[in-house]
Structure 1
């Protein structure tokens, strides 16, 4: 039997993967550019949170830009976008077959590699899924860097603007959401670190100004009749 390279015999799985990569390249490029584009202003929530991370780094004397990069990467690209890339059925009415799932896993891993600060090294022993986009990853890394830089340079997402946006959203979906259930789910997380959060809010200047510790104590009392000196 002739080999695949000679007269069109059997094609290896690696050959199929590389062939598919060439077909999908433009679509992967378009998705990554759409996710990491700032041609339209990023959502206020993203600007607000990234500003918060920058402020925390400055407050605690963290001057290593790689640390802040990792914070931002873990909070948005890896926690949100990778989940969507890997599981499109979360937002679209589609069924993901095993073969499609395998392809999406490679795309998601490529996105993860593009968000890291370490150099993407591959060798002859690297798995095929690491080799597929090895040439494109440096370019994708530049997209990530520019995305973070553009948001950092943009107008800050101030507290008043964020608060106004949340109030507007709450009003838009007031009839479709059970606020008590949402509050209870949030409080289950807060309750795990209740004492630490109260202490941090009492020591923080902005928290003192807005009486956040007192407000949280009131919420605790409402949710589970926690005994506090209100």
Structure 2
């Protein structure tokens, strides 16, 4: 504001305030209907729009760079203690969750045979190929179960529960999921003052969780081996138990309408050029399948023979 400029103040009645600049000889109208009050916003810097500077009546000592003022520091001072308080409130729930995930026997629930069978495959392949680095097998096991299955459920509980996940809850669950990911990491990642709060928040708990993960893998390794016959019997049992939960006709319709019909020309061209498709007459079989679908004759025996 240059010397000699005139400032005009008007009553608040749904008010507009005008700033008169001597250089331009005109008023610049500022709408204040949505402006925060002096109490709630003690520090506001000027903005430059269309060559006109809008100034707020504040003390010069309160004018600081945007994003570096006391107001932002106050937000951090309030945010961090509340974050720690919330972490302490849900700590028991997080511990119980991790204890349930990384326990072979927890409250009468035994480990599924499929997990033991899969982890034994990892151990056998590592021994067969001479892999002595424990980090490799640890990563195989972590990527196959905790990181692929449990982290996804922790971050997205709406996949199995009929709930609405707000943005605030989503951010909190992401921190818990990140904690589980850090616990499954074989190596340690040093933290600095620039590390995100999500990592600093559980920094003291991660070593304990890591020990839970290592103990979990050791306990599984010490369990009796699952034979191929037992595994096949288990798969057969599950197939029979869920035979009415899945509908082959619905799956066939979805594949045909959503994929085969949509990319019909590309599929026929690929079947014509492919040697395996030519030897097995897949192009003709695809044409017969189209006739069956178009004529709405979904006979199970005919589809099976194709």
Cα 1:148–1:179 change in 2 (3 A) is farther
Matches of 2:93 and 2:222, distance apart in 1 = 29
Separation (CA, whole Å) in 1 of partners of 2:248 and 2:124: 30
Q: What is the alpha-carbon distance in structure 2 between the residues aligned to residue 44 and residue 179 of structure 1?
A: 27
Choose between structure 1 and 2: higher strand proportion. Answer: 2
2:103 and 2:226 map into 1 onto residues whose CA distance is: 18
Unaligned runs of 5+ in 2: 1-38, 40-73, 256-275, 287-306
CA distance in 2, matches of 1:12, 1:158: 57
Larger radius of gyration: 2
Q: RMSD between aligned alpha carbons? A: 2.7
What is the CA distance between 1:178 and its match in structure 2? 2.8
Q: How many residues are aligned here?
A: 184
| Cα distance in structure 1, aligned partners of 2:248 and 2:232 | 17
Give the Cα separation in 2 of the matches to 1:169 and 1:136. Answer: 38
User: Which residue is equivalent to 2:130?
Assistant: 61
Shift of 1:122: 1.6
Greater per-residue helix proportion: 1
Does the 8 A contact of 1:120 with 1:137 survive in 2?
no
Partners of 2:199 and 2:182 in 1: CA distance: 9
Deviations 1:5-34 (A, max 9, x none): xxxx86522222111101110000000000
Match of 1:157 in 2: 226
Deviation by residue 1:47-98 (Cα, 9 ceiling, x = unmatched): 1110111111111111111110000011111110000010011111211111
Paired with 1:118 and 1:179, the residues of 2 have a C-alpha distance of 45
Secondary structure in 2 aligned to 1:157?
A: coil
Q: Structure 1 CA distance, aligned partners of 2:190 and 2:204?
A: 11
Give me the TM-score of the superposition, normalised by structure 2. 0.56
The correspondence for 1:111, drawn from 171, 180, 183, is 180
Counterpart of 2:89 (choices 23, 40, 43) is 23
Which of 168, 173, 182 is the aligned partner of 1:99?
168
